[in-house]
């Protein structure tokens, strides 16, 4: 029997929620499973990961093979690092120090697109809050940089146009003033010439 660590889909249409399970590779995606290791919720920003790390390491040590997506989740949660440290024979204190250093660096990274949560769904200490209403936030997040660039271009174009209009108005005003003064000066000069 080939044992896999994979995702089991739940949730409603267009709102997936995945359980991370250990199962026989021949069972259906949402079929029977041996053990539930945690969950993965990609519909929040950032995505939520809850994982029983010790159980996952136990299954990895026993030969369970994670799928590609599950391998990425295990890597992000630090399970593969802990598993590698155990395979290398590191002492618990050394392994914990290495893991803590990695965890601190990982959590301070600005490119992180997930958050580790506890069983209740609240972020583990030192992590950002989780936003709901993902689809609207995601659309706004994707559109915002483009919209800001367009607004900046429009503002620059409007400022240039306003400067051109101001210069044109000043030129027209000067020309009109000269045109009004010129006939008055010619009329004043004409009666003196007649006398």
Indicate the pLDDT class of residue 21, thresholds 50, 70 and 90.
Answer: very high
Integer Cα distance of 188 and 195 in angstroms: 12
Beta strands 114-116 and 65-66 are unpaired
Mean pLDDT of the chain: 78
Query: pTM for this structure?
Result: 0.59
Report, in angstroms and rounded to the nearest whole number, the Rg of the chain calculated over CA atoms: 34
For 43, counting Cβ atoms within 10 Å of its Cβ (0-12 exposed, 13-18 middle, 19+ buried), the class is middle
Give the CA diameter of the chain.
Answer: 125
Q: What is the pLDDT of residue 116?
A: 74
pLDDT digits (tens, 9 = 90+) for 74-98: 888 888 888 888 888 888 888 888 8
* Domains in the chain, CATH or no CATH each: 3-130 (3.30.1320.10)
Query: What sign does the dihedral 12-13-17-20 (CA atoms) show?
Result: positive
């Amino acid at each position: 029997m080939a044992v896999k660590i994979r995702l089991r889909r739940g949730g409603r249409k267009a709102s997936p929620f995945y359980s991370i399970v250990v199962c026989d590779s021949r069972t259906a995606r949402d079929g029977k499973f041996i053990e539930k290791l945690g969950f993965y919720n990609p519909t929040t920003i950032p995505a939520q990961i809850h994982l029983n790390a010790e159980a996952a390491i136990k299954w990895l040590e026993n030969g369970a093979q994670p799928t590609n997506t599950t391998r990425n989740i295990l890597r992000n949660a630090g399970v593969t690092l802990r598993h590698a440290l155990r395979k290398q024979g590191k002492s618990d204190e050394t392994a914990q120090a290495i893991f803590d250093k990695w965890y601190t660096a990982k959590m301070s990274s600005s490119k992180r697109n997930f958050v580790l949560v506890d069983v209740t769904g609240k972020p583990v200490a030192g992590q950002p809050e989780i936003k709901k209403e993902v689809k609207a936030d995601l659309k706004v997040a994707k559109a915002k940089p483009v919209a800001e660039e367009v607004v900046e271009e429009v503002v620059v174009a409007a400022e240039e146009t306003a400067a051109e209009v101001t210069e044109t108005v000043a030129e027209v005003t000067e020309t009109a003033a000269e045109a009004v003064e010129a006939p008055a000066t010619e009329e004043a000069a004409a009666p003196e010439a007649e006398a």
